[in-house]
Amino acid sequence: MSAVWPAKDDTRRAVLARLAALDDVAGKADSPTLLPLARTELHHLADGWRRLLTVHCAEPDGSCASCRTGIRARRWPCPVWRAAHEQLIGERVQHRQRTLSPRNRFTRLSRR
């Protein structure tokens, strides 16, 4: 694993520990214990997805407001929205057919 700043590593560890604890409780707790926790955590889950997806909204030019590959913005739906769709809906978002840019000079040449 690459080097991580201590504060970032603490954040990562805390989040992963919380997820592990939730998995543990989901697998072991009895229903009277699990139901109130599940209600609370489902609200947290929905709120968390909404907050994350808001940050990854589509810009008017069709790019993601947050995701970048190098200096270019990723096309929307970005990997975060694709993961949300897969996780929440249960199926992958189909990739769009790629079209060549009209600025691609080879495309122009082939149309002549």
Residues that bind Zn ion (CB under 5 A): 56, 64, 66-67, 78, 80
Least separation in angstroms between CB 57 and Zn ion: 8
The angle formed by the CA atoms of residues 109, 111 and 112, to the nearest 5 degrees, is 70
Question: How buried is residue 93: exposed, middle or buried, by Cβ count under 10 Å (0-12/13-18/19+)?
Answer: middle
- Give the nearer residue to Zn ion in terms of CB position, either 22 or 63: 63
- Give the nearer residue to Zn ion in terms of CB position, either 47 or 59: 59
Query: CA–CA separation, 64 vs 95, rounded Å?
Result: 15
- Give the nearer residue to Zn ion in terms of CB position, either 64 or 84: 64
CB closest to Zn ion, residue no? 78
Least separation in angstroms between CB 94 and Zn ion: 18
Least separation in angstroms between CB 66 and Zn ion: 5
Could you tell me if 94 and 88 are in contact, meaning their C-beta atoms sit under 8 angstroms apart? Answer: no
Least separation in angstroms between CB 51 and Zn ion: 13
Sign of CA dihedral 8, 11, 16, 19: negative
- Give the nearer residue to Zn ion in terms of CB position, either 34 or 63: 63
